[in-house]
Amino acid sequence: MQYNIIPVPYSISRYQGKGAEPCAGYSFAGEEDINCETDLKDFFCRVFKNESAVNKDKKLDIILELSDMSGDEAYRIAVDGAVTINARSSKGFFYAVQTLKQLILEFWLRQNTAIPSIVIEDKPLYLYRGYMLDVSRHFFDADTVIELLSVLALHKINKFHFHITDDQGWRVEIKQYPRLTEIGATRKGTLGNKIPHGGYYTQEDIKKIVAYASSKHIEVIPEIDLPGHFTAAIAAYPELSCEGKAVEVATSFGIKHDIACCGKESTFTFFEKVIDEITEIFPSSYIHIGGDEAPKDRWEECPACREKMQKLNLNSVEKLQGHMVNRIAEYIESKGRKAIVWNESLNSGILNDSIICQYWSDGKEPLRVLNGINSGRNTIISKFTPYYFDYPHGMHSLKAIYTFEPELKGAEGNESNIIGIEGHLWTEYVETKAQINYQTFPRLTALSEIAWSSKAQRNYDDFEERLKEFYPIYELYGITPTPIADVNPGKIAGTIQIIKFFKNAITRESIKSFFSSYKANKKVKSTRNEDKN
C-alpha cells in the first residue's frame, strides 16, 4: 500500500487491528499538549471549513503518551481504532501530528476510507532543518512571515533563518539606535525605478513572530550581517564606516565597498549593543553574523584598521576580519548563544573552533569547509547549487535538490559534524507573497525529505509520486506552488527560464551594480591570495 507521506517516515508497518474511521472531530487524551491541539484544530477547520466541525459527535480519539524514544523529535504512531502517539517530548508529539494530518487527507478525504491499522516509527536524520528568508532586499510583513511558518511546520522544518539586515534595508527595531529604522529601513528606489521601498519589524512584531514559531517548534535565527552587507546601517550611522562619509541605503544589489570599520572601538560597541537587544527578542540558540562578501579596500586605506592590525600583530585584512568575527562571536557566547557565519569567514585561518560554518559558495571554498568538518567544526550545508530557491528551476530543479548529497566527499567518518541543511530564498527579484510561494514550493518539500528521512528511505521517483498528492495540502494552506509539470524543465524549457530570469534582472542600474560587485569580488579574492603568501 502506498502511503503518501512527506517526509517519508523511517518505517511503516501493517498489523491486524481496527482502522480509524472518517469523522469530522477529534479528542485528545493522555498528556496535555496545547500546541498539538491548536495545530490540529486549525487543520480540521481548514478541512471542514467550519470551526464547529471539531465538536461533532463522531470523533477521532488521539492519545498522547510519554515514552523513552531515540530523541526529542522522534515519535511512534499506532492506529487501532484510536490513534496512540508515543514521544518523549512535545516536539515528537507535534511532528507526529504533522504526519497524522497527511494520513487524514489521504484516507478520509481522498479515498473516503479508514486510516488502516498501521504503526509508524519515525525520527529525523538532521537536527538542523532550515529555511532562510531574506527580508532586506524586499520586505514582507509579520503576517506574511507567520503564514509561511505554518507551512514550514508541515514539512518538519525546525529552523527559520531570518535575514533581517543587508545593504538594501535594516529591518528590525533597535531602540538604542533608532536611525537604523528611521533611515536605514527605507531606500529611494530599486534598480533605478525611483519607487521608495521600506518597512521594518518593531520589537513587538518580532516577539509575535517568535512566539508563533515556537508554538510550531521552529527556532527563529536572526542574521545581523557584518562586516559587509552593511550599507543600510552606515546610511543611518556613517561613523560606523572607515571614512565616516554619508551614504544612502543601497538601491542596487551585489557587493558594496563600504563595510563596518574594524579599527574603531565604537564599531564593536555598536555590535554589542545591537546583540544585547537582539538576544532579548530572539531566544534562539544561534545568532548568525554573516561574514560574507566583504571587500576590504577601505580597511587597507584606514589608519584605524592599520593601527589595529599592527597592535594585534595581524599580517592581513583577512585576519583582521577573523579577529572581528571571533570577538563578536565571543560576545554572543557570553550570552549563552552560538555564532553562525558564512563560509568566507574561514578564509582568515584563525576562526574560533566554536563558531558554526554555513557553507554556500562554490570555487575553492569546499576544501576549507571540508578541512573544518574534519577538524570538528559544526557545519550547515546550504550550497548555492542547488539550495538557492530564488533561481529558476532550469538552474536548480526539484530533482537536483532531491538528489544532491549534502554529506561532502572526504568527510567520511566526520559526518556528524554536518549538523543539517538549509534552503535559501534571497529576494532581490522576489517582491510578493505569491513569488515566495512559487519559488519555495515544492523545492522546500524536497529539501525537507532530505533533511528528515534516512538515506535508505529516499527515492526520487517515489517522492515525485507522493508529491502529486501533496498539492492539495498546499491549497489547504493557501499556497500556489510551482506546477509539478514545471519543476524539472528539460534542456530547452530550462534554458528559456534562465534567459527570462536574467533578462528581467538586467537593467542599467543592475549592470553598473554587476561591474561594481565584480571589482569588489576580485578585490576579495586578491586579498585572500595575498594572505596565502
With helix as H, strand as E and coil as C, how does 370-409 read?
A: HHHHHCCCCEEECCHHHHECCCCCCCCCHHHHHHCCCCCC
Spatial neighbors of 52 by CB under 8 A, at least 6 apart, are none
Mean pLDDT of the chain: 93
The phi-psi region of residue 14 (left if phi > 0; otherwise alpha if psi is between -120 and 50; otherwise beta) is: beta
Q: How confident is the model at residue 521 (pLDDT cuts 50, 70, 90)?
A: low
Q: Which CATH number fits domain 11-122: 3.40.1110.10, 3.30.379.10, 3.30.930.10, 3.40.50.11890?
A: 3.30.379.10
Quick one: CA torsion of 279, 351, 233, 431, rounded to 10 degrees?
Answer: -80
Q: How confident is the model at residue 533 (pLDDT cuts 50, 70, 90)?
A: very low
Q: How confident is the model at residue 327 (pLDDT cuts 50, 70, 90)?
A: very high
Condensed to tens digits (0 to 9), the pLDDT of residues 267-310 reads 999 999 999 999 999 999 999 999 999 999 999 999 999 999 99
The predicted model gives 99-104 an average pLDDT of 97
pLDDT the model gives residue 516: 57
pLDDT the model gives residue 44: 93
- Is pLDDT above 80 for 132? yes
CATH of domain 128-488: 3.20.20.80
The predicted model gives 68-74 an average pLDDT of 95
Domain map (residue ranges) of the chain = 11-122, 128-488
pLDDT the model gives residue 53: 47
| % pLDDT > 90, the chain | 85
Condensed to tens digits (0 to 9), the pLDDT of residues 376-402 reads 999 999 999 999 999 999 999 999 999
Spatial neighbors of 85 by CB under 8 A, at least 6 apart, are 62, 63, 64, 65, 75, 76, 77, 92, 93, 96, 97, 100
Condensed to tens digits (0 to 9), the pLDDT of residues 458-478 reads 999 999 999 999 999 999 999
- Is pLDDT above 80 for 524? no
